[in-house]
Structure 1
Amino acid sequence: MNKPKKNWLLASTVAAIIAAPTVTRANSELEMLQKNPGNWASWGGDYSGTRYSKLSQINTSNVKDLQPAWSFSTGVLRGHEGGPLVINGVVYIHTPFPNTVYAIDQKTKAIIWEFTPSQDADATVPVMCCDTVNRGLAYGDGKIFLQQADTVLTALDAKTGKRVWSVQNGDPRLGMTSTNAPLVVKDKVITGIGGGEFGVRGFLAAYNIRTGQLEWKGYSMGPDKDTLLKPGKSTTWQDGKVTPVGPDSGTSTWKGDQWKIGGGTTWGWYSYDPKLNLVYYGSGNPSTWNPLQRPGDNKWSMSLWARNADTGEVKWVYQVTPHDEWDYDSINESVLVDQEINGKMRKTMVHFDRNGFGYTLDRESGELLVAEKFDKAVNWASHVDMKSGRPIVVPEFSPEFHGEDVTTVGICPAVLGVKNQQPVSYSPETGLFYISGNHICMNYEPFEVSYTAGQPYVGSTVSMMPPGVDVLTGKKDDSTNLGQFTAFDAKTGKIAWSNKEQFSVWSGSVATAGGVVFYGTLEGYLKAVDAKTGKELYKFKTPSGIIGNVNTWEYEGKQYVGVLSGIGGWAGIGIAAGLDDGTSATNSEGLGAVGAYRSLSSYTKLGGAFTVFALPN
């Protein structure tokens, strides 16, 4: 087992620096790997983040015959988010803290190599929001890239598991942690930072894949030299048109220098368009959760970004939820697809936000094309004004309108969002996006909080409950489901179908050419549904609740489906961290989640496992 020595000065050093006479273009190799459906070479299956596979051996006719083929225990408890990479026949899986990585031989099922980094648990785990999860690995230039919880980005030799280099991306002593899957683009590996609930100022950073040297860093807020916004050149959506951004937009909508602890962290997913050479991602909630302490739009938290992959310069940015009052992080993935909208083919970027609106933008210009609710229970805003791009807030559900130390009742969605980090999938055959979602509302009470480095900077008490409102119609009903799996047409902004689930669907889905979409449930079921109708075709109970992303690949002519199970994450934090104290169903432990999901412990327990499925021989 390979273990790097702890060193807080790794930001300026690397374990090995290899002279490179030419620039490595790792994305060329990745594009080739992604074109072969036998691989699953990045978190989204491809640079566009579609999570679509061209494999069709498993289809709507035979998926009912699916069987477990083999399984592997990770040896780690807590929540298992993310999913496996499969590169040229080798399966790479990861765990939550301590972030062990395994390379597994598919033929023998033996461990080829194993790597566990040395991390200071006492410094890192206490400042990890919402469980000790990790969302996955990246591959490029013959290396596996691991973003450790303590913010260290590590490059491992894909064949041997030996550490090539490590670099410090942040400092847990200031509340910084990392849970995101990196993305390899050209000669860079791109990563972000977490810690918005600790007043961390978010950024996206690019490191050289050969040496670990920092190439560029773009902050979510601050002066233009920090955000890498170019006044007059970088644009945003305003007044019904694409408009140049003015100078220092990242400070002018903040009170004083509060932007320095402004949040806007970047712990989600990153996509890339090789032709436009743009990286796409979202920034998270502003700090604190108490909106009365931070007047203004709080730019550029809660925003969608397009940055030049070479320099980090911002092409365009669009703020989804100005002056967020509800913790509606915008870190969710941005999926890149070409679609015909109003009779015109568009290069679009589709983003399903925690705020409950599905956004379709022109990914080249940043023009807003569609913004519609993908759960009709959403009530905090009536609609998005397409000219300004701003949501129209309903005062009844505005914590700021009611004031500090006053509970605003019945806000939909809850802080978990209609969809959290669990990535959607897209089928070019149906033209639909498949959304693993939450169906849950909240009561929200803001209170004054002061900032101390490395300490929680939340300033709100939250409790959660079912909406009692139908997903499709918005009409009141007596359902108590906390989750749904929804098919959505991003060209029109309309829901095609939606299946109710007892608990939130916290697993990322995968769509296939066989007409099947796979996802997992918090109780632990792997499910397969018909991509056109949503009809359930198969389910199997895995050892623990599924919050991991389902992936599919091929080995020796056979299609496999694999998923990490292991209950945890925000929705499962009560079980994962032992927070169930037996109080009322709406208690606010785990940032509001424990009470709402109290009954989950009757269906599943802790335990990390990787389960692989296939059709019988």
Structure 2
Amino acid sequence: MSRPGRIVISLAIVVAFASALPVTAAASDPAGTHFSDLAQVTAANVRQLKPAFTFDVGVQRGQEAAPLVVGDTMYVVTPFPNYLYALDLRQNGRRKWTFEPQPDVGAEGAACCDAGTAGVAYDNGRVFMVTLDGQAIAIDAASGKEQWRARLADVAKGETVTMAPLVVRGKLLVGNSGAEFGVRGWLAALDAATGREAWRAYSTGPDADVLIGADFKPYYETQRGRNLGVTSWPTDGWKTGGGTVSGTLSYDAAADLVYYGTASPAPRNPEQRAGDNQWTAGIFARQPDTGAARWFYQWSPHDLHGHDGTNENVLVDLRVGGRPRKVLLHPDSNGYLYVLDRLSGQVLSADPFVDANTIQRVDLVTGKPVRNPGKDLRVGEPTRHVCPGAAGAKGRQPSAWSPRTGLLYIPHQHVCEDVSPYDVAYIAGTPYLGVDSEMYAAPNRSRGALTAWDPLARKPRWSVAERFPVVSGALATAGGVVFYGTMDGWFKAVNAADGKPLWQYKVASGVVGQPVTYRGPDGRQYVAVLAGVGGWAGAIVSNELDARDGTAARGYVNAMKDLPSFTRKGGMLYVFAL
């Protein structure tokens, strides 16, 4: 790497080790490609995959994380109460130790969309985890003993932490969740050795709070100006304005920039927050040592439809317009696939990867979306057939990029909604939305799909339809295989070139987690995934919601009434090998 310092993996990033040695910077994937160069498992032999071992994690909720492999040990973290297990890969996953962080029981009630976590990180002999109640904890990777912990969030305000942390240059980066409660978003950096907070960058408020200074040089005019995090809001609206940081972090070592998205503004009723509502529903590029913002781009100015902005940012190098560019691929919840110059924040292209009717196009000169006025929200006027709805074209389930095929494999959904906004008052620790909604499958579409997108041709190469939203992550390998899971309990492999089905295995519950592959101590390639339905889409099962109440889970139950007939709660790790 061109800069000093250690970059380490998180569970949100796929792991593929060349040996059973301890992890090094070269083994990590801070670019977030979810690609493995392991190739023992191929399109020709993947049908021979069989279970190698399983492990019951003891928590039957949405298992959103990915297993993390370091040397001969696999680390598995559960949803609340966030148990962390170390499994011995030399002994078929025998448990080495268990760490129980004992988070605040009140955190469950503050979680918006199930009590899951996206994962843990490793660096310098430590495993780093975050708990639902907003604590960051460092654990000795060998013994499972706690080394330090730091409380970052306030559950009483509805603030939680569900993202996977990332260590960059000796700093542990952690962001918060809870925009639906009017929580003010932030990304914090802790000293990885001590837990001391080095900096905290807010997503709303004065420039000093957002860590905007002389080095901030956004590409578009709409992001230039002083204190836009205040002036683009009604009076004091920024103080309860959302913009939380619950998605995947990516890091470019050569540019020394961390990239991450910010969530929707609060409340969701847009008539209560006039203005563009900076710096929500967009993406920041920051310098990790100081937190100083380098640039920002807003996917959804004055976000009308709860489309958020926290989805993954995949860093790749492509020839665009006949010349090499360092780009960032971002499949947004608004249904558009963005290709950005990751050094400047310029939008190079933006094209819909689903049937999207809330915006007509993205103006590449101004960078702003051209809205469809027929889908604007107004109090007292229900808006019908909003596609995609607040569930988005996809959530934070990560896509996978293959440098072998030049395709981005996007797990996503086709879900629309009807929306009725109303005025709402802010009360700390309670939902701050101001909308009623009911979601349903998009007309003439399956509810979910895995789509292979060609960012240069700006169109899909192929797509595999699924009965339910595909909210698992995707994994691409050098063997020409793409792995993903389904909510009705299938773990699948398809051909990376054409999407043809190659293999599937029925697991005990729906899959909303992230598959990984690794080389074990015996030199064989393994593929692992957690099964346990949940998340926003799976709440009807994991939270045992009444299918007759279509407004439950903020309207998602209406689109998932039949899910309980296809799967049940679960919490099981599956590991496969040839």
Q: TM-score range by the shorter chain?
A: over 0.9
- Who is 1:441 aligned against? 416
Residue-by-residue CA offset, 1:28-47 (whole Å, 9 max, x unaligned): 899xx9784457889x9501
Amino acid at match of 1:557: G
Structure 1 residue 581: Cα displacement: 4.3
Native 8 Å contact 2:15 2:36 kept in 1: no
Amino acid at match of 2:258: V
Structure 1 residue 492: Cα displacement: 3.5
- Distance of 2:8 and 2:242 partners within structure 1: 34
Give the counterpart of 2:486 among 506, 509, 521. 521
Residue-by-residue CA offset, 1:278-317 (whole Å, 9 max, x unaligned): 0000000000010000001001100111000110001110
SS at match of 2:397: coil
- Who is 1:18 aligned against? none
Amino acid at match of 2:370: I
Tell me whether 1:165 sits opposite 2:145 in the alignment.
no
- Distance of 2:15 and 2:511 partners within structure 1: 25
Going from structure 1 to structure 2, the CA distance change for 1:504 and 1:451 (only over 3 Å counts) comes to same
Gapped regions of structure 2 (runs ≥ 5): none
- Who is 2:217 aligned against? 235
Native 8 Å contact 1:45 1:53 kept in 2: no
- Who is 2:269 aligned against? 290
Tell me whether 1:130 sits opposite 2:108 in the alignment.
no
Native 8 Å contact 1:370 1:491 kept in 2: no
Amino acid at match of 1:283: T
Going from structure 1 to structure 2, the CA distance change for 1:135 and 1:308 (only over 3 Å counts) comes to same
- Distance of 1:120 and 1:85 partners within structure 2: 25
- Distance of 1:35 and 1:451 partners within structure 2: 46
- Distance of 1:292 and 1:35 partners within structure 2: 47
- Distance of 1:386 and 1:414 partners within structure 2: 24
Structure 1 residue 355: Cα displacement: 0.5
Structure 1 residue 62: Cα displacement: 0.5
Going from structure 1 to structure 2, the CA distance change for 1:467 and 1:404 (only over 3 Å counts) comes to same
Give the counterpart of 1:75 among 31, 42, 58. 58
Tell me whether 1:27 sits opposite 2:7 in the alignment.
yes
- Who is 2:364 aligned against? 386
Give the counterpart of 1:117 among 68, 86, 101. 101
- Who is 2:524 aligned against? 558
Residue-by-residue CA offset, 1:53-83 (whole Å, 9 max, x unaligned): 0001000101111111110000001111010
Structure 1 residue 496: Cα displacement: 1.1
Give the counterpart of 1:337 among 296, 304, 316. 316
Going from structure 1 to structure 2, the CA distance change for 1:167 and 1:238 (only over 3 Å counts) comes to same
Native 8 Å contact 1:272 1:280 kept in 2: yes
Residue-by-residue CA offset, 1:164-223 (whole Å, 9 max, x unaligned): 000011110111101000001011010100010111010111000010000111111110
Tell me whether 1:426 sits opposite 2:415 in the alignment.
no
Structure 1 residue 244: Cα displacement: 7.4
Structure 1 residue 491: Cα displacement: 2.6
Structure 1 residue 395: Cα displacement: 1.3
- Distance of 2:18 and 2:235 partners within structure 1: 51
Native 8 Å contact 2:15 2:517 kept in 1: no
Native 8 Å contact 1:269 1:332 kept in 2: yes
- Who is 1:221 aligned against? 204
SS at match of 1:107: helix
SS at match of 1:310: coil
- Distance of 1:238 and 1:111 partners within structure 2: 52
Going from structure 1 to structure 2, the CA distance change for 1:397 and 1:45 (only over 3 Å counts) comes to farther
Give the counterpart of 1:328 among 289, 294, 307. 307
- Give TM-score scaled by structure 1 length: 0.90
- RMSD over aligned CA atoms reads 1.8
SS at match of 2:239: helix
- Who is 1:9 aligned against? none
Residue-by-residue CA offset, 1:380-406 (whole Å, 9 max, x unaligned): 11111111111111111111xxx2132
Tell me whether 1:591 sits opposite 2:554 in the alignment.
yes
Identity over the aligned pairs, expressed in percent? Answer: 41
Gapped regions of structure 1 (runs ≥ 5): 1-23, 469-476
Residue-by-residue CA offset, 1:525-582 (whole Å, 9 max, x unaligned): 0110111101111111111000000100011111000000001100000111111242
- Who is 1:15 aligned against? none
Structure 1 residue 365: Cα displacement: 1.3
Give the counterpart of 1:348 among 317, 320, 327. 327
- Distance of 2:409 and 2:387 partners within structure 1: 21
- Distance of 1:541 and 1:603 partners within structure 2: 12
- Distance of 2:357 and 2:375 partners within structure 1: 7
- Who is 1:94 aligned against? 77
Structure 1 residue 162: Cα displacement: 0.5
- Distance of 2:556 and 2:138 partners within structure 1: 35
